[in-house]
Amino acid sequence: MAIIGNIIKTVIDLRDTFSQSKPVEEQKQVLKDLLKEAKGTAFGKHYKFQEILAADDPARKFAENVPKHDYESMKAEWWDKVIAGQENITWPGVPDYFALSSGTTGNESKRIPVTKAMVDSIRKAGIDQVFALTNFDLDAELYEKEILMLGSSTDLDKKDDHYEGEISGISTSNIPAWFSGYYKPGEEIAKIDDWDSRVKKIAEKAKDWDIGGISGIPSWIELILEEIIDYHQVDTIHDIWPNFAVYTSGGTSFSPYEKSFKKLLAKPITIIDTYLASEGFIAFQDRPETDSMKLLTDNGIYFEFVPFQQDYIKPDGSITDDAPTLTLEEVELDQDYILIMSTVSGAWRYLIGDTIAFTNLERAEIIITGRTKFFLNTVGSQLSVNKLDAAVKHLEDALDVQIPEYTISAKRFGDDFYHSWYLGSNMSEPDTEKIAQELDDHLAEANKNYRVARGKALAGVKVEVVPPNVFHEWSSAKKKKGGQVKMERVMGEEKFVEWESFVEKIQS
């Protein structure tokens, strides 16, 4: 009998019984706490946080006084001073860490401050997520099993008075002492920087562990499970880890990977979505009745929302100066919003580049709908990433295939624009014309703007099918394997030229 597991589960059940969330009120308090803490910083003095705190409506005054920032403007105006080691610039003191983030492949790494307060915030969110597992009616034995957390290396780089690394490496290097007995692959393996070497070591050790849960980005988790299965010459990962029951997905939508992922399993598992960015732990799924995630409204991050409308979006994916912002109290259901964050790491009215939609206002539950720069609208088709994901999932079901990776661009062929798709799949002898027609028909039926575009500037769809490993090698060539690296779902014309040259080279 799982005695310890039952005790842990009972404690979690009791905590959940007494926990009640009031998202709107929590957000009002978080804003006040942030302003109070940072009012003595250079940023707080410049934008008169003390006056904002004294206003009748601090949220509105905050939006009026403080401009929106993307990474470039935040860095140039404020964070360059933080990186240089100056104190009390955007948050009291100096940060202990800087998260290196390029998000998707091919961009120069950003350096985003990560303070002790943010480390505590991420840790609290992780603990809250563990407590939320009671809602999923999992066996008590699961709470005695080990958890494989696969992110970037925890061997952080020491720079002057701080450390640098990806956010997954930073957060993993700060796991509580009591959790270390459950955590795999363990400190020694987690510090291996080279992805292939780390995967090889994990495969070698896999049979020594009793894994009940796994956490990480779907594309890289899928690769490592395949490696373990191949190394031990078994049929599924459950032949190695029979108690594997929960997968916590994060970093990108799980939908494109669902079908190929399930091929690696011998039995169903519980899949839970999370939303952790370099700027903070934003949301996680806390109940099984929905695929949506609960926005963390009481954890050191204040959220604002810009309606994702074409009038407010510049060609480079940034937003116009006159774009309105809404508070949590003002948002509506099923509308796309650009997410803005102010945090305990000293990010202020900061655009992280993601778009979300609310599925439940009372619970503040959201889904990620895409990236502002991954919005395909060159010819008026207005396709967000979630719509592209849905089209790929339809294709998998209609053709009975697996397509864990894809990318797309609007490309000119002669005088006409086409949506040019690259699908990552091991399907044999693909009929690309049939696939293109299936995609085109589905998108036209499911999306009004696409249907209108097909009657005007958009001439049609073209499809190329390449092995999934081509996408992994692209990620490796552009940055490195594993960690927080995610594939671009939508590419601009220049990047797409580079991509097509890469595909031609790797397949020659």
Give the max Cα distance, the chain. 70
CATH code of the domain containing 189: 3.40.50.12780
Residues 401 and 339 in one domain: no
| 484: pLDDT strictly greater than 50 | yes
pLDDT average, residue stretch 1-22? 52
**pLDDT tens-place string over residues 194-224:** 888 989 999 999 999 999 999 888 888 998 9
Q: How far is CA 130 from the centre of its chain?
A: 19
Look at the chain and report how many structural domains it folds into.
Answer: 2
Residues 307 and 171 in one domain: yes
- Note the pLDDT tens digit of each residue in 410-432: 888 888 888 999 999 988 889 99
Convert the pLDDT of each residue in 389-399 to its tens digit.
889 999 999 99
**388 and 307 share one domain:** no
For residues 385 and 491, state if they share a domain.
Answer: yes
Is pLDDT larger for residue 157 or for residue 23? 23
User: What pLDDT sits at residue 18?
Assistant: 45
Are residues 389 and 334 located together in one domain of the fold?
no
477 with 490, same domain: the answer is: yes
**Nearest Cα to 255, choosing from 355, 463, 404, 421?**
404
pLDDT of 7 reads: 43
Do strands 183-184 and 146-149 pair parallel, antiparallel, or not at all (unpaired)? parallel
* pLDDT band, residue 58 (cuts 50/70/90): very high
Res 472: pLDDT = 83
Q: Which residues of 303-319 are buried (b: 16+ CB within 10 A; e: fewer)?
A: bbbbbbeeebbeeebbb
pLDDT given for residue 38 in this prediction: 97
Residue 301: closest CA among 155, 156, 124:
124
Residues 420, 342 share a domain: no
Give whole-number Cα distances, 442 to 155, 173, 183, in Å.
Answer: 46, 45, 43
* pTM across the whole model: 0.83
Confidence of residue 16 (pLDDT cuts 50, 70, 90): low
Which stretch, 11-25, 154-168, 287-301, has highest mean pLDDT?
287-301
**Final residue before a domain boundary, out of 373, 408, 430:** 373
Residue with the larger pLDDT of the pair 387 and 61: 61
Range of the domain at 124: 1-373
How confident is residue 104, by pLDDT bands cut at 50, 70 and 90? Answer: very low
Query: Among 321, 350, 373, which residue terminates a domain?
Result: 373
- State the average pLDDT for the chain: 86
